[in-house]
With several copies, the nearest count.
Chain A
Amino acid sequence: MELIQQLWQASGLYQITLGQFVMLCVGGVLLYLAIAKKFEPLLLLTIGFGGILANIPGAEIATGDGLLHLVYVVGIETGVFPLIIFMGVGAMTDFGPLLANPRTLFLGAAAQFGIFATLLGALGLTSLGVMDFSLKEAAAIGIIGGADGPTAIYVAGQLAPNLLGAIAVAAYSYMALVPIIQPPIMRALTSEKERAIQMVQLRPVSKLEKILFPILLLLLIGLLLPTAAPLLGMFCFGNLMKECGVVDRLSDTTQNALINIVTIFLGLAVGSKLQAEVFLSASTLGILLLGMVAFAVGTASGVLMAKAMNRLSSTPINPLIGAAGVSAVPMAARVANKVGLEANAQNFLLMHAMGPNVAGVIGSAVAAGIMILFTSGL
């Protein structure tokens, strides 16, 4: 009966391609990492599941009028979702440690070298003919080194939508791998003695400072680098809602219902970019490789910057907290704390590392603004 034939030809078994099969496995791996290994579960679970949905043959959930494609167009192409997430992150961020010790901003600056080194790496591979990345694509890949999910997704959505899936997966995977990637680099670049350095107790920070800082930050970025203003603007808005103390119900919702809802759809939409025909390419391998480099270089430059600052200044800085400059909040700060405790059981670096940690978020947003300014025109 020809209805049965029609049924068979519409089935996934009949339509599935090797690529889709591979991507279903990749989706499964992401779910495994999220659930069993607890690697950034909020994002890798949603991205992984979105990837599986996007590779079901014939379902067309991630194309045309399919749910995931609609969500992608509405939320990612417009940049709305990453900006809302960034607002939520701002509402969960405490600038206290940064305000208590503003010098640590320099560590957050140095760590951004990973971004630009990766940019060069991507262009290098292209010049060698190994890969074929445009300047825009290379810039988007570089931002992986910012170790900041929403920033990477925002920039990729603007500069290289075709690579968004791979970039987001790389960014979140390596953020989850920070406890494995960073420690060897940190140990290699520091002596036992340096890792044991104790830092001076942070001064208390007043409420007024915490309220004024996000406004100050927004005005400075607005005056110097407006292309970074959307990202940092929403970040500062979230932080101001948290610190001002007069809109707690808004801040509360931003940190919970709103960021959770957007995270679900952001993850699914990013996952929709894991379609076999888009994702399975040499460039994805290149991106995963370059992303690893980005994290390593960023970590190293943060540590080296801290050592340099120790040369110039009297008040000692434990170079380990330099590694937190890549952001990957709060994982990188915890890693610095952990490695510090190994060297000196009395050495609690967590609070000190939170400074460069959030500084890294600002730093990579600035780098993102630069990338957008100089390449989006091309």
Chain B
Amino acid sequence: MTPLMSAGVQLMLVGMGTVFFFLTVLVAATRVMSAMALRLAPVPDSPPESASVTPGPQSRHPTPDEIAAISAAIAAHRAARR
């Protein structure tokens, strides 16, 4: 095996080892943190469904539907004003 390859193998072993070691520590730490957090603030304020990657109403872009809805409202208002 060329020295380059062996360097690569070493890097892989150390790398995957570190990744697993770090995430294992993180799992443990997260469990402890959650336990403490739930003792401090028992009642969850976010229902499970709410979990998602999409940002909240404030930050997300309006969908075409919503733009349509808003535009309609504005149009109605303008019509009303005339």
User: Interface of A with B (CB < 8 Å)?
Assistant: 1, 3-4, 7, 91-94, 96-100, 102-103, 105-106, 108-109, 112-113, 115-117, 119-120, 123-124, 126-127, 135, 138-139, 201-210, 212-213, 216-217, 220-221, 224-225, 242, 248-249, 251-252, 255-256, 329-330, 333, 351, 354, 358-359, 362-363, 366-367, 370-371, 374-375
Query: Given the complex, which residues of B lie within 8 Å of A105, measured CB to CB?
Result: 23, 26-27, 30
Closest A residue to B60 using CB positions: A255
- Docked Cα-Cα span, A91 to B60, in Å, equals 12
- Docked Cα-Cα span, A27 to B16, in Å, equals 32
CB within 8 Å for A138 and B37 given contacts A1-B14, A105-B23, A225-B22: no
Query: Given the complex, which residues of A lie within 8 Å of B49, measured CB to CB?
Result: 351
Contact A216 B53 (CB under 8 A): no
| Chain B proximity of A103: nearest CB distance (Å) | 7
CB < 8 Å neighbour of B5 from A93, A94, A120, A213: A120
Query: Given the complex, which residues of B lie within 8 Å of A92, measured CB to CB?
Result: 53-55, 59
Query: Given the complex, which residues of A lie within 8 Å of B4, measured CB to CB?
Result: 123, 126-127, 135
Having A96-B50, A117-B12, A204-B48, one finds 15 other A-B pairs with CB under 8 Å, namely: A92-B55, A99-B30, A99-B34, A102-B26, A106-B20, A205-B44, A205-B46, A206-B46, A208-B40, A210-B46, A221-B22, A329-B53, A351-B52, A370-B11, A371-B11
Query: Given the complex, which residues of A lie within 8 Å of B44, measured CB to CB?
Result: 203-207
The 8 A CB mask of B25-37 against A (1 = contact, 0 = none) is 1110111011001
Chain A interface, >50% SS class: helix
Query: Given the complex, which residues of B lie within 8 Å of A97, measured CB to CB?
Result: 51
Chain B's interface size range is: 35 or more
Contact A220 B22 (CB under 8 A): yes
| Chain A proximity of B13: nearest CB distance (Å) | 8
| Chain B proximity of A315: nearest CB distance (Å) | 14
CB within 8 Å for A91 and B55 given contacts A204-B44, A206-B46, A207-B41: yes
Contact A119 B26 (CB under 8 A): no
5 intermolecular pairs with C-beta atoms under 8 Å apart: A102-B31, A106-B23, A120-B8, A204-B48, A248-B58
Query: Given the complex, which residues of B lie within 8 Å of A224, measured CB to CB?
Result: 18, 21-22, 25
| Chain B proximity of A209: nearest CB distance (Å) | 5
- Docked Cα-Cα span, A329 to B55, in Å, equals 13
Closest A residue to B21 using CB positions: A224
Query: Given the complex, which residues of B lie within 8 Å of A7, measured CB to CB?
Result: 14, 18
- Docked Cα-Cα span, A106 to B25, in Å, equals 11
CB within 8 Å for A123 and B8 given contacts A97-B51, A216-B30, A248-B58: yes
Query: Given the complex, which residues of B lie within 8 Å of A96, measured CB to CB?
Result: 46, 48, 50-52
Contact B11 A109 (CB under 8 A): no
- Docked Cα-Cα span, A115 to B16, in Å, equals 9
CB < 8 Å neighbour of B61 from A201, A252, A374: A252
- Docked Cα-Cα span, A329 to B53, in Å, equals 8
CB within 8 Å for A113 and B16 given contacts A103-B27, A204-B46, A212-B37: yes
CB within 8 Å for A362 and B23 given contacts A99-B30, A354-B51, A354-B52: yes
CB < 8 Å neighbour of B18 from A106, A113, A209, A370: A370
Q: Does B73 contact A (CB under 8 A)?
A: no
Contact B7 A116 (CB under 8 A): no
Q: Does B45 contact A (CB under 8 A)?
A: yes
Chain A CB within 10 A, most for which of B47, B51, B58: B51
Contact A207 B45 (CB under 8 A): yes
| Chain B proximity of A363: nearest CB distance (Å) | 6
Contact A367 B51 (CB under 8 A): no
| Chain A proximity of B71: nearest CB distance (Å) | 15
Q: Does B74 contact A (CB under 8 A)?
A: no
Query: Given the complex, which residues of A lie within 8 Å of B15, measured CB to CB?
Result: 112, 115-116, 119, 367, 370-371
